[in-house]
Amino acid sequence: MAESILGKLGFGRASGVDKAGWGRTLAVAVVAFIYFLPVLFIIFTAFKPQGDALLVPPTLSPTSLFGLIPDHFVFKPTLENFGSVFSRSMTPDGAPEATGFDRYFFNSIFIASASVLLALVIGTLAAFGFSRYPLKGNDTYLFIILTTRMLPAIVVIIPVILMFRVVGLSGSYLGIIMLYTAFNLAFTIWMMKSFFDELSPDVEDAARIDGSSGMRVFFKICLPQVIAGLAATFVFGLILTWNEFLFALLLSGPDTRTVPVAMNQAVSSGGRGTDWTLLAAIETLFLIPVFLVTFFLQNHLLRGVTFGTVKR
Amino acid sequence: MTAVSSTLPTPRLTAVVAHNWKLAIAVAVVVSAISMAGLPAAVSFWVVGAAAALVAAAFTVNAYRRHYFGALLVAPAIAVLFVMNIFPLLWSLGLSFFAYQANQQTIRFVGLGNYVRILTNDLAAHATWGALINTAMFVVFTVSAQMIVGFLLAILFSKQFPLRKYLLILVLTPMMLSVVASGVFFTYYYDPTFGILSYVINSISGNQFILMSNKVGAVAGIVFADAWMWSPFVMLLVLAGLVSVPKYLYEAAAIDRISSWRQFWMITFPYIRGLLMLALLFRTIEAFKLADLVILLTKGGNDTLTISYHLIRIANEQNKTSEGAAISYLMLFMVIVLTNLYLYLANRRTQGA
Amino acid sequence: MTAMTKVKGLATAASFAATLLVGGVTYASAKEVTLTMAVPDWPPTRIMKKFFDEQYKPKSGNTVKLDVDFIPWPDFYTRVNASLTSGEKKYNFIVSDSQWLGAFVEGGYFRKINDLIDADPELKATMESMHPAVLNAYSTYPNSTPNYYGFPQFPDVLVTYGRKDVLCNDDEQAAFKAKYNEKLPCTGEEIDAMDWNTFEHVGEFFQRKKGDKLAGQVLDDDFYGIAYQAGKGYDFSTSSVHTFVWEHGGGIWDETKAPTGHAEGVVNSPKSIEGMEHFLKLLKYMPPVVKTGTMDIFVSDQLFREGKVAMNIDWIGLGEASLDPKTSKVADKLVFGLAPGLRGPDGKVNRTSQIGGQPFVLTTWTTPEQIKEAVGFVKWWLSPDIQHQFAAAGGQSAIKSVYSDPKYVTYRPWDRAWANSLDWQKDMWHVPQFFELLTQQQDQYDLAITGKQDAKTTLDNIAKFQEDLLKNDGLIQ
Amino acid sequence: MSTIELRKVTKRFGSFTAVKNVDLSVAAGEVVCLLGPSGCGKTTTLRVIAGLESVTDGEVVIAGKVMNNLPPEKRDIAMVFQFYALYPSASVGENIAFPLYHDGISGAERTARVNRVAAILHLEHVLDRLPNQISEGEKQRAAMARAIVRDPNCFLFDEPLSRLDVELRQSMRGQIKEVLQGLSKATVIVTHDQLEALTMADRIAIMKDGLIEQVGSPHEVFAKPANAFVASFIGTPQMNLLEADLKTFADGTAEMTVAGINLAIRTDAAVARLQPGKVTIGVRPRAFTATDTGDRGTISARAELIEPMGAETLIHARTAAGADIRVVVTRSQRVKVGEALNLRPDPRQTHVFDGAGKAVRS
């Protein structure tokens, strides 16, 4: 009995090409929905009127679903909070003023994508180097690179701030982008190296014999084969960079501040603790770009990860 | 692998040529040591930086003259890592041997004094050890919870079924949330007056339920939130492993009438082991750094202070910079031991089986 | 395209890129002076910036610019600390909690202003016009010495927030009278006269379960009588425990008595233990969140605004949200009074309280030109007219002529408690070891608050730690 | 009684029909090869038998029981996969032992059986190694050992030799045949290699586009192909298929135009049933005799390409009308490029296929 349940779950036979029907969809939908609930609650909170955020019992749904849900669990959805993200009154009885969040969103998108792409470029070159021209003690170097991810950011922050000040990078885009690039490099190099390791060397050798230069081999032969890996690395890097907080707090200036830092505006909102609906609205908006990127690169994501690590 | 067609002779250590990186290192080490010991931090910083640049330049010239294309490919990455990561890390490593507070202008060499202090001093050691034990506990609980939940989720998604793509993205969403927002919302979920959890349990039991009022509850609350956020990461890696298993192996197993349990250990597990290891490695490293959720949910109350939070207090709030550096190198040492242990076990299994 | 235009194009593109990357480069004309200021992001600082832009800047002939970096409260210290200690030298003015003075003065970041005061009679007059408790707390390091550093930005005290609809209900009044043989405080004056016993009775009296009646209405959720900060974060239990310890005649380590003053025997004196036990006794009447050790000033404020408690003791600085119907379910039911005190055997109420609020300070790298403008700005800011406007917009003023003006109490409902409260405000340590002292003390208080150890053990542990630490650092002989 | 029986089995994947109305029976002890070009549905047929694919229509009967809805594990069959499907983390010995766990066989018995089949297939020295540490041939034998270690209803082989090199393939063919003979089980082998099928099978089922074109002994399918497809598929070099225009038939001789030449060829008497019109003439390359002089019974062509194949020589010749003809002659017959040839088909080996490609045979 237990075994047949295990079997049905796919415990033994778990192949991606295996087909299952709508029954499976239903079962997984229940689990996925429960898993998603805390996020859904945040998204719903973004649509609640400000005073409804802390009602007891909590309001759980924007609609009564034709009377299915009792009235005291239903809230009246509003878009007001999304407006407040960008413009609201900052002083008692004051007129609404711009909060700067348009800038913060732009900063987040610009900084995250620029640094992840830069890390991808530099890291892919390095990964190719590590993979094709292994040095003596290659593994040691790679491990040292990994250790840069192991220390809490707080340790390096003072020298970095000092460095930025003298070079004039504090509060600039370039500084924070370079820092994030370094922050992403370890992961990028580890991922991309494993992809290059998996490539069959035959084609490259053939291309070399045909007289292609190293650059040509890299761009025309190797790179196209690791597109999925690049996509997977991009998504992982994006997710990790998107929500980075400490470096952003300490190294960005008022003009280059990112959303995770500015988000605390809503956590301690104008001297009155958490503005729940505002925080939810910011988070909901902030979720959209990375959600879309992940969704559209989803297929690459699975393929990329697999490709990189099969046979390891 | 590479045919190095170079006849450039290795220079003697003392030869002053641009590609003599050994000399560059020697000069850099001596100059850095002297400047760190003798000059104020703000000045020695630049001396050390210049020394590092000298070494990097020597390496590059050396690589170029010898046609080490590998080295040239790797150079930009190493340069960025060096400036932004390794150099600051070395700087704080150096600091950990000095008595230095960031908000004061004095600096004094104390050797291993900081390490001795954080491990044995009456005022400091108690917190360090307590935090280390708590961190070990969180590493065990959060990582195992993530591995188990992530694994089970991956099993659920391992087959093709209608709408799979849409359901998968739902499960992936938690790891895209910012820790601030999700942490703050978890304080709400757990709140005894306003929160959903207490509301549901109160309605059923009739008594006031307060999750975070004792250590068990507080740890459970933190572990749950962390595992919820990061299990999708494990799931993604495991899922990738699962879909890479050749289908014919399962067909053979069906024909050989092998039980599901045995199929898992014989077929599935070997294919996902590498990815599980990778997930384990990355999650363990992150679990060691667990601080933000603790700060948001308990402020370290109910004996949930982690080493990373302790470090933030020491290095940031109290500005005991060099003591903080010592703590972080203690952490680094432990993470390195642990990850090497993982890698060792993983490799031993592969070779021994 | 000729080669030359190509080069030009490239150069333009490059400089554009550089501007984009390096960000906010400002080209200031020679006469212009920019004062850069790090402030927490909340109404008092927003108002300050607004007033500056509307009034001071035009007055100065648009040559003085105030560049304000609004930093969200939760990260304010982290950001400021990192900026200062890294030598970034970015800010001229910094809003600072008074307790941070020691650490940053010793580090050479905050500028002593005695020379400025001496050189400028007007400024001297301004400083003298301030309430001495505020001046002492916000400006002096070492504490209570004539070494001045800061100017008040937003001074703050603890007051009692009350719900009229509950407190003044006839049924509740009668029941309370019957039970405790005293009047349930209802008006501001009655709350002013309230002592901790009455406050405790209010807590006990209003503990209601879901389904019970409150002021004639059936409750749909549990209700509690009192709320008061008792959280582990920052100073969210120190502020309340210190108040009780002082009122009971106990003490904290007194830096003004260094190096002969001790922590051992003072911090854990019987009187101090008595005070702490008194505070712990109140906790059982507070909402359940207090048992998690996270009842900070924001949580108790939120409970009050959501209508879950009858009384809350909190900073004035959090008051605006209670007044705003959008964020408060009790906006039209508010009553404010002094924070309670301890009634002595003589019937007089003894009050001593931890002061709140923040000064703003000048940094040492501020240039003489900037200092000139900065002094002008401070004088303008602390001038009675601006301080009146500030109070009217929701701020507080520590300038005697302002808060003693009869107009003052009309600005906000809590202003009636302001002037009196100033007299019994005290501050804790200004020494550089502030965060070490605070963190350990908060950890220990938390253990007591969540019921894991008694008051005596707690204060013994704190005393021992402080004695050891301060001896080590030479502050205790 | 046959062990495996397919009754009107059809398998569709969406709108694509992989197997159409297939009838096939395999008796105990009989080896049947499913032979056909790639994509012909032979592997699908095998997987349908194994239960790895469900049938859309028809019945799969194994050992007298309808198995349509039973999963593979309940069918009691053994299968050797194209990629061997050895469990990568288990040693060869463990791999071979796996099918035995289900039956609750004792450990000692398991070891004994594994050793026995290992001896049969010469695997004794690799039992402790992992699959990726042994050679291709050993993998193949290990996969086979795993199949024969127990006593199933039948054996199924999916392209068992396709991953081996030529020499190994030859020796394995023999070994498999030998092992199978000793087992006397119903066996189905899927292959695209006719030599494999011809050497190992008792009967061959030739498939194309999901249909079985012909089932018969190796001799039958070679000597009496049921249609033009089978005729061209079996035999190397490929049979010559020449478009012809049948005019008359009398006395066992057909008058026809082949490649623009009027011929009178002796053919099967059944040709009499045909109406004059388009037919296809099939002549195997070895069924021509080259004569010095042409007559109405010979096809004249010019040698274009000569491929010596050792004992014989393959000649590609072209008729005046442009038709290609392959001829195999013995080594002793020297032919030069450009030389004119008169080719006389052997009447007993001349196949006539009607307009639909069906063999016309009495």
Q: Per residue, what are the HEC states of D3-40? A: EEEEEEEEEEECCEEEEEEEEEEEECCCEEEEECCCCC
Long-range contacts at D330-339 (CB < 8 A, ≥ 24 apart): D333/D290, D335/D290, D335/D303, D335/D306, D336/D303, D336/D306, D337/D303, D337/D304, D337/D305, D337/D306, D338/D302, D338/D303, D339/D302, D339/D303
pLDDT of residue D86: 87
C474 touches B: beta carbon within 8 Å: no
Per residue in C71-97, pLDDT (tens digit) is: 988 889 988 988 888 777 889 999 998
Q: State which residue of chain C sits closest to B102, comparing Cα positions.
A: C85
Neighbours of chain B (3+ CB pairs under 8 A): A, C, D
The chain A residue lying nearest C42, using CA atoms, is: A270
The better pLDDT of the pair A148, B136 is held by: B136
Does C75 contact A at CB distance below 8 Å?
yes
For the segment C438-474, what is each residue's pLDDT rounded down to a tens digit? 999 999 999 999 999 999 999 999 999 999 999 988 8
Quick one: A134 and A32 in the same domain? no
Is residue B145 a contact partner of residue B231, using CB atoms and an 8 Å limit?
Answer: yes
What does residue B16 show for φ and ψ, rounded to 5 degrees? -90, 85
- pLDDT confidence of C25, banded at 50, 70, 90? very low
Residue B7, burial from CB neighbour count under 10 angstroms (0-12, 13-18, 19+): exposed
pLDDT, residue C131, reads 93
**Contact between B255 and D101 using a beta-carbon 8 Å cutoff:** no
Contact A12 B228 (CB under 8 A): no
Q: Are residues C183 and C61 in the same domain?
A: no
Among the ranges given (A32-41, A62-71, A291-300, D34-43), the one the predictor scored with the smallest mean pLDDT? A62-71
Whether C9 is in a domain gets the answer: no
Q: Cα dist. C338→C133, C231, C414, D280, D343 in Å?
A: 17, 22, 9, 114, 125
- Judged by average pLDDT, the poorest of B285-299, C14-28, D92-106 is C14-28
Residue C1 lies in a domain: no
Q: Do A15 and B335 touch (CB under 8 A)?
A: no
pLDDT tops 80 at residue D2: no
Nearest CB to B80 within list A9, A181, A276: A181
For residues D146 and D179, the answer to whether their CB atoms sit within 8 Å is no
* A196 and A263 belong to one structural domain: yes
Q: What are the boundaries of each domain within chain B?
A: 21-95, 118-352
Q: What is the DSSP letter of B10?
A: P
List pLDDT tens digits, range A229-263: 888 889 889 988 998 888 888 888 888 899 998 89
Q: Does residue B67 register a pLDDT over 50?
A: yes
> Domain boundary residue among A78, A98, A118?
A98
Whether residues C47 and A91 touch (CB distance < 8 A) is answered with yes
Instruction: Quick: pLDDT tens for C126-159.
Output: 999 999 999 999 999 888 889 999 988 899 999 9
DSSP symbols for D119-165: HHTT-GGGTTS-GGGS-HHHHHHHHHHHHHTS--SEEEEESTTTTS-
Task: Please name the member of B104, B193, B300 whose beta carbon is closest to the beta carbon of C106.
Answer: B104
What is the distance between the alpha carbons of residues A261 and D94, in angstroms, rounded to a whole number? 57
Instruction: Judge whether C175 lies within some domain.
Output: yes
By the 8 A CB rule, do C474 and C106 touch? no
Q: Which alpha helices (H) appear in C140-187, and where do they start and end?
A: 164-167, 170-180
Mean pLDDT of C228-246: 93
- Whether residue B6 is predicted with pLDDT greater than 70 in this model: the reply is no
Residues 213-252 of A with CB under 8 A from B: 214, 239, 242-243, 245
Residue A304's pLDDT is: 64
Lowest mean pLDDT among A104-118, B227-241, C363-377, D97-111: D97-111
Whether A135 has its CB under 8 Å from any CB of chain C: the answer is no
Residue A18: pLDDT band by 50, 70, 90 thresholds?
A: low
**Domain count within chain A:** 2
Mean pLDDT in residue range B246-259 = 85
Q: Map chain A to HEC letters.
A: CHHHHHHHHCCCCCCCCCECCHHHHHHHHHHHHHHHHHHHHHHHHHCCCHHHCCCCCCCCECCCCCCCCCHHHECCCCCHHHHHHHEEECCCCCCEEECCHHHHHHHHHHHHHHHHHHHHHHHHHHHHHHHHCCCCCHHHHHHHHHHCCCCCCHHHHHHHHHHHHHHCCCCCHHHHHHHHHHHHHHHHHHHHHHHHHHCCHHHHHHHHHCCCCHHHHHHHHHHHHCHHHHHHHHHHHHHHHHCCCHHHHHHCCCCCCCHHHHCHHHHCCCCCCCCHHHHHHHHHHHHHHHHHHHHHCHHHHHHHHHHHHCCC
Q: Which range, of C4-13, C115-124, D287-296, averages the lowest pLDDT?
A: C4-13
- Report the residue of chain B nearest C77, measured CA to CA: B317
Asked if the C-beta of C85 comes within 8 angstroms of chain B's C-beta atoms, the answer is yes
Does C247 reside within a domain? yes
Handedness of CA C96, C102, C104, C105 (dihedral sign): positive
Claim to verify: residue C332 and residue C231 sit in the same structural domain: yes
Q: Which of A104, A112, A264, A88 is nearest to A180 (CA)?
A: A112
* A249 touches C at CB < 8 Å: yes
Q: Which residues contact A14 (CB under 8 A, 6 or more apart)?
A: B155, B158, B159, B242, B245, B250, B268
Q: Count CA atoms within 13 Å of residue C358 on its CB side.
A: 19
From chain C, pick out residues whose CB is under 8 angstroms from the CB of A272.
298, 301-302, 305, 318, 320-321, 327
Q: Residue A288's pLDDT band (boundaries 50, 70, 90)?
A: very high
Burial (CB count <10 Å: 0-12, 13-18, 19+), residue D1: exposed
Domain residues for the domain of C379 are 33-156+357-425
Q: Are residues A86 and A138 in the same domain?
A: no
CATH of the domain at A302: 1.10.3720.10
Query: Which pLDDT value is given to residue A60?
Result: 86
> What domains are defined for chain D?
2-233 (3.40.50.300), 240-353 (2.40.50.140)
Q: How far is C257 from chain A (nearest CA, A)?
A: 35
Q: What is the pLDDT of residues B112-167, one digit of tens each?
A: 889 998 898 887 888 899 999 999 999 999 999 999 999 999 988 888 888 888 99
Phi, psi angle pair for C194, to nearest 5°: -70, 140
Please, where are the H alpha helices in C264-325? 270-282, 297-305, 319-323
B69 shares contact with chain A (CB less than 8 Å): yes
C73·A271 Cβ contact <8 A: yes
Same domain for C281 and C361? no
Q: Minimum mean pLDDT among B36-45, B160-169, B199-208, B340-349: which range?
A: B36-45
Q: What is the pLDDT of residues D131-142, one digit of tens each?
A: 888 988 899 889
Interchain contact, A158 vs C21, CB within 8 Å? no
**Nearest chain B residue (CA) to A125:** B73
Q: What is the pLDDT of residue B8?
A: 64
- Residue C348 in any domain: the answer is yes
Looking at residue D225, what is its pLDDT?
A: 92
Do C377 and C350 lie in a common domain? no
User: Do residues C160 and C311 lie in contact, with contact meaning Cβ atoms separated by under 8 Å?
Assistant: yes
- Given C387, C402, C425, the domain boundary residue is C425
- B-chain residues near D88 (CB < 8 A): 249, 270-271
The full DSSP string for B216-253 is HHHHHHHHHHHHHHHHHHHHHHHHHHHHTS-HHHHHHH
Domain count, chain C: 2
Q: Lowest mean pLDDT of A11-15, C293-297, D48-52, D135-139, name the range.
A: A11-15
Query: Is there a single domain that holds both residue C302 and residue C418?
Result: no
* B348 band by pLDDT with thresholds 50, 70 and 90: low
Write out the residues of chain B at the interface with chain D, using a CB-CB cutoff of 8 A.
246, 248-249, 251-259, 262, 266-267, 269-271, 353
**Interface check C103 vs B, CB under 8 A:** yes
The whole-angstrom separation of Cα D68 and Cα C33 is 90
Residues A281, A105 contacting (CB under 8 angstroms): no
- Nearest-CA distance B268 → chain D (Å): 10
Cα C289 to Cα B194: distance, rounded to the nearest angstrom: 10
A256 contact residues in C (CB cutoff 8 A): 23-24
Chain B: give the shortest CA distance to residue D16, in Å. Answer: 20
| Residue A21: domain span | 2-98
Residues 294-313 of chain B whose Cβ lies under 8 A from any Cβ of chain C: 297-302, 313
Query: Does C477 map to a domain?
Result: no
The architecture of the domain spanning B118-352 is: Orthogonal Bundle (1.10)
Chosen domain end from A98, A127, A146: A98
Give the per-residue pLDDT at C7: 44
- Is residue C454 assigned to a domain? yes
Average pLDDT over residues B192-200: 90
Interface B–C counts its CB contacts (< 8 A) at 96
- Average pLDDT of chain B is 84
Over residues A211-226, the mean pLDDT reads: 78
User: Is the Cβ pair B208, C289 closer than 8 Å?
Assistant: no
pLDDT of residue A14: 39
Residues C380, C413: one domain? yes
Pairing of strands C353-354, C64-71: unpaired
Q: Chain C, 252-311: which have a CB under 8 Å from a chain A CB?
A: 298-299, 301-302, 305-306
Considering only CB atoms, which chain D residues are within 8 Å of B274?
none
Say how far apart CA A79 and CA A101 lie, in whole Å: 16
Residue C78 dihedral angles phi and psi, to the nearest 5°: -55, -45
Of C21, C43, C301, nearest to A174 by CB-CB distance is C21
Say how far apart CA B225 and CA B230 lie, in whole Å. Answer: 9
Among residues of chain C, what percentage have pLDDT more than 90?
71
Contact between B155 and A11 under an 8 Å Cβ cutoff? The reply is: yes
Q: Of C77, C289, C436, which is closest to B193 when you measure between CB atoms?
A: C289
Q: Is the same domain home to C347 and C306?
A: yes
Quick: pLDDT tens for D315-326.
999 888 888 889
Residues C396 and C446 in one domain: no
- Between D206 and D360, the higher pLDDT residue: D206
State residue B79's pLDDT score.
Answer: 83
Asked if A255 and A209 sit in the same domain, the reply is yes
Most confident of the ranges B207-211, C118-122, D119-123, D176-180? C118-122
pLDDT of residue A17: 41
Cα–Cα distances in Å, from B293 out to A258, B222, C257, C285?
Answer: 20, 7, 40, 29
Q: B4: distance to nearest CA of chain C, Å?
A: 38
Structure-model confidence comparison of residues D182 and C113, the more confident one = C113
Contact D77 B255 (CB under 8 A): yes
Domain boundary (A48, A67, A98) is at: A98
Report the chain A residue with the minimal C-alpha distance to residue B275.
A309
A199 or D156, which is more confident?
A: D156
Note the ipTM here.
Answer: 0.82
Query: What's the rounded mean pLDDT across residues C334-343?
Result: 94
- Put simply, the answer to whether B266 touches D82 (Cβ < 8 Å) is no
Check which CATH number belongs to the domain holding C266 and give it: 3.40.190.10
Which letter does DSSP use for residue C112 in this model? P
pLDDT at C309: 95
Q: Which two tokens stand for residue D113?
A: 């059986």
Residues of chain B positioned with their CB less than 8 A from the CB of D85: 246, 248-249, 251-252
pLDDT, tens digit, 9 for 90 and up, residues D257-283: 887 778 888 888 888 888 888 889 899
Residue A309: its chain B contacts at CB < 8 A?
Answer: 240-241, 274-275, 278
Q: Which of D165, D159, D177 is nearest to D137 (CA)?
A: D165
**Domain co-membership, C269 together with C300:** yes
| Residue C314, strand partner residues | C159
Q: Judge whether C297 lies within some domain.
A: yes
Q: Is the peptide bond between D237 and the residue preceding it cis, with omega within 30 degrees of 0?
A: yes
| CA–CA dist D157, D155 (Å, integer) | 7
Same domain, C320 and C177: yes
Residue B349 pLDDT more than 70? no
What is the average pLDDT value for chain A, to the nearest integer? 82
Looking at the structure, tell me whether residues A14 and A148 fall in a common domain: no
Query: Number of CB pairs < 8 Å for B and D?
Result: 64
Sheet (strand D65-66) strand order = D16-27, D2-13, D57-62, D65-66
If you measure CA to CA, which chain B residue comes closest to C232?
Answer: B299
Which residues, other chains included, contact A43 with Cβ-Cβ below 8 Å and sequence gap of 6+? Answer: A280, A284, A287
The lowest-confidence range among A198-202, B226-230, C42-46 is: A198-202
Alpha carbon of C256: minimum distance to chain A alpha carbons (Å): 32
- Model's pTM, two decimal places? 0.84
- Element housing D280 (H / E): strand D277-283
Same-domain status, A90 and A213 = no
Model confidence at C16: pLDDT above 70:
no
pLDDT at A264 > cutoff 70: yes
Q: Helix B125-156 vs helix A22-46: angle between axes, to the nearest 10 degrees?
A: 130
Identify the pLDDT of residue B225: 96
Q: Which residues of B touch C292 (CB under 8 A)?
A: 192, 210-213, 218, 298, 301-302
Q: What confidence tier does C8 reach under pLDDT thresholds 50, 70, 90? A: very low
